[in-house]
Amino acid sequence: MHKTPHAMIYGTGRSVPEKVLTNADLEQIVDTTDRWIMARTGIRERRIVEPGTPLSDLASAAAREALDNAGVAAEEIDLIILGSVTGDMKFPATACIIQDKIGAKNAVAFDLSAACSGFLYSLQVASAMMAAAGYRRILVIGAEILTSMVNWQDRDTCVLFGDGAGAVVLGPSVDNRGIIHSCLGSDGSCANLLFNPGCGSVNPPTPENAAAKLHTINMAGKEVFRHAVTAMTNAMQQVLQEAGIAPEQLNLLIPHQANLRIIEAVAKRFHVPAEKVYVNVDRLGNTSSASIPIAIDEARRAGKIAPGDLVGMVTFGAGLTWASSVIRF
């Protein structure tokens, strides 16, 4: 292992809505079955917010928990990066609203848009800003209310997504612990496989566009599935190779929680046994940029990640975007 970490995780937190939407509930909304959803995705239920809930509320709750867990005061935070595509408003950046809600008055705050790769992209940007620009206490949040852009009449997509937020506090590396290496990738030529065409400059929110449901998620499921398995496998391969780490050295693999079949395909490729693969997609569905930080927090609090453990993470999302990271906790 020849990479020297700059930033390490000092604390983690998460927040998911209380309301549970089960597959049985979805059977009442669209033409689907629990059997189909379980077989094709591994999702049993997901958490959803009450309509109109601000993303900044969920994200701030996760951030406060991470600060508390790290023993860091909000005033000590000098940078906040929120990975999200479902912010409170088009502008300002939701990171600024979170800054105000948690009282991080000394922080610079901005949002980063990379869909389901938003958290790992943000983590890499944060690590680079610590190394190159001297930030010392950074809050990185992945938070999403994807149900705000779900078309509840489209059974191809509405069964997949849930809401949630996860956060980590980064500080300077100690004892060679921290983010050892990360790899990011993008392919805009496939932007039309997974997108929300409405509310932007192309399709502003006119009554006609709203009636045509242009502000909802459009997805070519089969194509996305194929790209996800290939991109996540390649990204994992690259990060392990460049960091000089063998798959069997990983104590835990945290893949993006989009679909159990994608998770199992990636784990199988690297011969990672099931007990070393973190899975919560059955309980939470696909929470996009929140999926990895929620999983990190759950795993730490359940004792599945101990200090010194080597954890691999890999994700994939709209853009297309993908990212991988190896972290010594």
Ligand X SMILES: CC(C)(COP(=O)(O)OP(=O)(O)OC[C@H]1O[C@@H](n2cnc3c(N)ncnc32)[C@H](O)[C@@H]1OP(=O)(O)O)[C@@H](O)C(=O)NCCC(=O)NCCS
| Residue 251 known to be catalytic | no
**269 versus 301: smaller Cβ distance to ligand X:** 269
Q: Is residue 36 a contact point for ligand X (CB under 6 A)?
A: yes
Candidates 23, 60, 259, 325; binder of ligand X (CB under 6 A) is 259
Burial profile 86-119: b = 16 or more Cβ within 10 angstroms, e = fewer:
bbbeeeebbbbbbbebbebeebbbbbbbbbbbbb
**140 versus 318: smaller Cβ distance to ligand X:** 318
What is the smallest separation between the CB atom of 188 and ligand X, expressed in angstroms?
16
Q: Is residue 116 a contact point for ligand X (CB under 6 A)?
A: yes
Q: Which range binds ligand X by CB under 6 A, 140-148, 195-203, 216-224, 293-301?
A: 216-224
Q: Is residue 195 a contact point for ligand X (CB under 6 A)?
A: no
- Residues near ligand X (CB under 6 A), total: 20
- Pick the closest to residue 144 from 312, 304, 328, 14 (CA basis): 14
β partners of residue 286? 161
β partners of residue 140? 81, 168
Cβ(80)–Cβ(47) under 8 Å?
no
Tokens of 324: 């991988």
Measured N-to-C along each axis, helices 34-41 and 260-269 cross at an angle, to the nearest 10 degrees, of 20
Output the CA torsion sign for 13, 14, 18, 22: negative
DSSP string, 61-79: HHHHHHHHHHT--GGG--E
Candidates 34, 156, 242, 264; binder of ligand X (CB under 6 A) is 156
Candidates 155, 269, 276, 301; binder of ligand X (CB under 6 A) is 155
Binding pattern to ligand X, positions 298-317, x when CB under 6 A?
------------------xx
Question: How many other C-beta atoms are found inside a 10 Å radius of the C-beta of residue 292?
Answer: 30
**45 versus 57: smaller Cβ distance to ligand X:** 45
| Residue 116 known to be catalytic | yes
Tokens of 273: 């046994």
| Residue 181 known to be catalytic | no
Of 181, 196, 256, 259, catalytic = 256
Binding pattern to ligand X, positions 75-114, x when CB under 6 A?
----------------------------------------
Q: Rounded to the nearest 5°, which phi and psi values hold at 106?
A: -100, 10
**266 versus 305: smaller Cβ distance to ligand X:** 266
Q: Site residues (CB under 6 A) for ligand X?
A: 32, 36-37, 40-41, 116, 155-156, 159, 219, 221-222, 224-225, 228, 258-259, 286, 316-317
**Residue positions annotated with a catalytic role:** 116, 256, 286
